[in-house]
Amino acid sequence: MVAFLRWAGSIVAGTLNGLIKFTLAILLILIVISLFAMARGDKMPGSMVLSIDLRKDVADSRPGKYSFGARAPTVLDIVLGLDAAERDPRVKGVFLRLGTGALSVAEAEEIGAALKRFRASGKFVIAHAQGFDGAGLGDYVTATAADQIWMQPKSSFAAAGVGGGEFFVRGLLDKIKAEPQIAKRSEYKSAADMFMESSMTKEDREQLQELMKSTYDAAVNTAAADRKISRAAMVAALDASPQFTEDAKAKKLIDQIGFDDDALGAALNKAGGDAQAITLSQFLGAKVASAYGSGPHIALVQASGEIVEGSTGGGPFDNSSVIAGDDMAHAIREATADKDVKAIILRVDSPGGSVAASDQILDAVKKAQAAGKPVVVSMGGVAASGGYYISLSANKIVAHPATITGSIGVLTGKVSIGNTLGLVGVKGELVGVGKNALMNSDLAPYTPEQWAALNAEADGIYADFTKKVAEGRKLPLAKVQEVARGRVWTGADAKERGLVDKLGGFWDAADVAKRLAGVPAGDRVRFKLYPRQKGFLETVSDWLNGDDDEVQAIENFKTLMTSPVISHTAHAVRQAPRAGIELRAANLPE
């Protein structure tokens, strides 16, 4: 046993030493690589076409974390990258690949606007689709921003409209004796209807129908204008889907028929000379920075994902895509404290989440405004519920026509499964001290008193939410109560109701921020990114300083090794007799 413990201890010590040496070696290698890279320049070709692949889901934005290797560009990466490419004389054009149905209409509006801005500088965009596979319109609307749309021969053009559906599991819950108890404020707050209802409510059907109609109108109007055909002709052409490539070309939905290499060849020929295709990720990688552009500083705070309490930790292997309350509030506070920052753009793409974290972020926004920093919200594809909550105090809110926003409401409750367990021979029992200590247990339903308390809590949060909207948007409370009720709106409909100030994308929000900051309209600005982009060395330093789960695991191991059982065992091993002569005193106090 003694020999085994000695052997195990040597293995643990050797492993930890090896990890430390490996980390130091990686650091040294990266330092050398960085020095060589700085000496050699960005190594981009003298003439290039940027290749952007949009055939997988595209995140709106991400926190400023170090990424190992090339990372998939976000919507904001594309927007800012195209701005940099517009000013880089080596970039002649863009080759776009899409068609899998990965893009929403709101994302199409943002990326399409960036492509048109790029084209306005005298450069070109060629889009290629092997097919437009989904019935949704996001990919096609994005493609219409290009100079030319290519499609592979005899492929499917399925883009047709906007639609969707919902599942309802109340019948299943009844069969397995599970009891859903969820309080919602108010009748349009439908996220939990799948548990509480057996079919779509009248209110939910109404809001979804209006949401889809508004999104469809925005998409069709944009596509018709870009393709230079009438709205009626565009509607008729889309109504003919699914159809083949050749049919789409006859209806002027696309321009050319060919494979991807044919379209890329056309792009390279148009660029001229010895132009090369370079991915946007490669281009961005050669321009890694914590700021973009030049001139007065405007902070760009990126908030994308579900809103949660606490911090993500930010370790080198942390790929979380959430808005952590501590991290986001800290980012806004950093931007507020930066004397060079003249205004803040808060980019929001979130379906909401924690009330406490949302309130924490809203407080940071209000304090930034109180410190004299104008805050402009630029909404991405979704800025609803908590996503709207963190936006409501902004000096101005800019949203796309197809942004999903609003959902000013509250959900709270649970599904109790105590009776369900009995169906499979499992029994759960509870023990608690305090009248409501077990109120949130999944094993038992709420008592009548607890259900009343839960509803009172929902009423209080809803009243606070609507009051803050009224104050932030400078609207009568009665009007807010009318447009709230948990209802989702498109950006276009939200603007009509005073929930949004302006329709547009990131660059429209930037223009508003410039005006509020007193920057002349024609002047460029420098966007400083928050949360701040961390390099590899800083990320590893944070990691080794105990900022994430990996270090927590090491701390847990340390706690285990210093526990009484392990300590006494180790002490016994140290005191055990060993072969040979030793100059060691035994049994000394420690």
Angle of helix 202-227 versus helix 105-119 axis, rounded to 10: 20
Cβ 308 vs Cβ 320: under 8 Å: no
Cβ 104 vs Cβ 124: under 8 Å: no
Going from the C-alpha of 316 to that of each of 9, 289, 306, 307, the distances in angstroms are: 28, 18, 21, 21
Q: What local confidence, expressed as pLDDT, does residue 571 receive?
A: 43
532: Cα separation from own chain's centroid: 16
Phi and psi (nearest 5°) for 485? Answer: 60, 20
Give the residue from 434, 360, 432 showing the smallest Cα distance to 390.
Answer: 360
Q: What local confidence, expressed as pLDDT, does residue 540 receive?
A: 45
> Cβ contacts of residue 171 below 8 Å, gap of 6+?
198
Q: What local confidence, expressed as pLDDT, does residue 335 receive?
A: 97
Q: What is the pTM of this model?
A: 0.83
Mean pLDDT of 396-400: 98
Q: Report the distance separating Cα 52 and Cα 49, nearest Å.
A: 10
Is 270 labeled as catalytic in the residue annotation? no
> Cβ contacts of residue 569 below 8 Å, gap of 6+?
5
Tokens for 456, please give them: 């009172």
**Which of these is catalytic: 156, 385, 407, 416?**
385
Is 230 labeled as catalytic in the residue annotation? no
State yes or no: pLDDT of 182 exceeds 70.
yes
Q: Residue with structure tokens 């949360």?
A: 531
Q: Report the distance separating Cα 243 and Cα 156, nearest Å.
A: 6
Mean pLDDT of 558-581: 43
Mean pLDDT of 468-483: 98
Q: What local confidence, expressed as pLDDT, does residue 574 receive?
A: 41
Burial class (CB within 10 angstroms; exposed 0-12, middle 13-18, buried 19+) of 80: buried
Phi and psi (nearest 5°) for 589? Answer: -65, 145
Instruction: Give the pLDDT band (50/70/90) at residue 286.
Output: confident
Q: DSSP for 208-261?
A: HHHHHHHHHHHHHHHHHHHHTS-HHHHHHHHHT-SEEHHHHHHTTS-SEE--HH
- The domains of the chain, with CATH numbers, are 48-160+241-285 (3.90.226.10), 291-409+464-537 (3.90.226.10)
Mean pLDDT of 162-169: 94
**Residue range 195-219, pLDDT digits in tens:** 999 999 999 999 999 999 999 999 9
- pLDDT-above-90 percentage for the chain: 75
Residue ranges of alpha helices (H) inside 484-544 are 491-496, 506-517, 536-544
Give the residue from 369, 371, 105, 348 showing the smallest Cα distance to 217.
Answer: 105
**Which of these is catalytic: 189, 251, 468, 495?**
189
**Residue range 303-339, pLDDT digits in tens:** 999 999 999 875 554 556 899 999 999 999 999 999 9
Mean pLDDT of 150-169: 96
**Residue range 432-472, pLDDT digits in tens:** 999 999 999 999 999 999 999 999 999 999 999 999 999 99
Q: What local confidence, expressed as pLDDT, does residue 531 receive?
A: 85
- What type of residue sits at position 351? P
Q: Report the distance separating Cα 28 and Cα 18, nearest Å.
A: 15
Instruction: Give the pLDDT band (50/70/90) at residue 521.
Output: confident
State yes or no: pLDDT of 546 exceeds 50.
no
HSE at residue 433, side-chain half, CA atoms within 13 A, is 0
State yes or no: pLDDT of 155 exceeds 50.
yes
Q: What local confidence, expressed as pLDDT, does residue 549 receive?
A: 47
> Cβ contacts of residue 208 below 8 Å, gap of 6+?
164, 200
Cβ 325 vs Cβ 484: under 8 Å: no
To the nearest 10°, the Cα dihedral for 404, 406, 412, 417? -20
Q: Report the distance separating Cα 324 and Cα 305, nearest Å.
A: 9
CB atoms under 10 Å from CB of 226, counted, come to: 18
